[in-house]
Structure 1
Amino acid sequence: MSDAELVSALRDLLGAELVAYLGTVKETGAVRQWAEGSRAIANPTDKERLRIAYRAARMISERDSPAVAQAWFQGLNPILDDISPARALRDGDLDAEGPRVLGAARQFAAVG
């Protein structure tokens, strides 16, 4: 999946504002440009963060809906020490938090 396809699919699942937050940009215009392919995701860590977010969002939206996935990313999560998955991915060490977020998404998708 290309970066443009990734961002476009993630934007469809989570919305442009949440993708901008995860991609550490301040404006949704950057998200649109990424999705169009007219702007590159400059930081490899941001790109990996978006890939992890896509995997988690897709797991949840396959069981429920994109709206549920969006709410899950923003809600406090007891598995993640009562911080939101979006914040864990954005502010935490991606090597540690990425697997934790995926595990929490897997559990949510399995149990609800």
Structure 2
Amino acid sequence: MAIATSRPGLRAYEDSLRLAPGEIISALRETLGATLVAYLGGVQETRAVREWAEGSRSPSSEVIKRLRTSYYVMAMLRDRESPSTVASWFQGLNPELDDVAPARVLRERDLDDAGPAVLSAARSFIAHG
């Protein structure tokens, strides 16, 4: 359980920067499942996710950026919600994202726009449920 701070999400942000890619991917896989992590990472096989987590294969730097952002959002939500709720949130249609699933936004849109939009939607979910 993360330490509560006066700035929600600060610990998640710091961890998203400090953790090694394998640790980021393992945590995402534990909460979201390998299939959703593969989707976020733009690969078809969950084997790639396992290999990324083990360190026997490396994702591109762009994929690592997307997965770090995904981790930040996931860890922020996980502080307050169950893993199944967090996974559902990533996959569900989100009214704050024009009824597009956060995972799809993170995968398909430019990360400079997608990251802040998804983070804002996650903060709203935390604040308002």
Shared fold by TM > 0.5? yes
Secondary structure of the residue aligned to 2:50 is helix
Task: Identify unmatched segments of 5+ residues in structure 1.
Answer: none
Residue in 1 that maps onto 2:41? 23
TM-score of the superposition, structure 2-length normalised?
0.83
Matches within 5 A, 1:33-44: 33-41=51-59, 43-44=60-61
Residue 97 (structure 1) shift: 0.9
2:93 is aligned with 1:64: no
Which deviates the most, 52-61 or 69-78?
52-61
Q: Which has the larger radius of gyration?
A: 2
Residue in 1 that maps onto 2:127? 110
Which deviates the most, 101-110 or 14-23?
101-110
CA contact (8 A) 1:13 1:66 kept: yes
Taking the aligned partners of 1:39 and 1:3, their CA distance within structure 2 comes to 11
Residue 100 (structure 1) shift: 0.5
Secondary structure of the residue aligned to 1:63 is coil
Taking the aligned partners of 2:66 and 2:121, their CA distance within structure 1 comes to 15
CA contact (8 A) 1:13 1:58 kept: no
2:84 is aligned with 1:84: no
Matches within 5 A, 1:92-107: 92-107=109-124
Between the aligned residues of both structures, percent identity stands at 56
Taking the aligned partners of 2:70 and 2:127, their CA distance within structure 1 comes to 17
Aligned length: 111
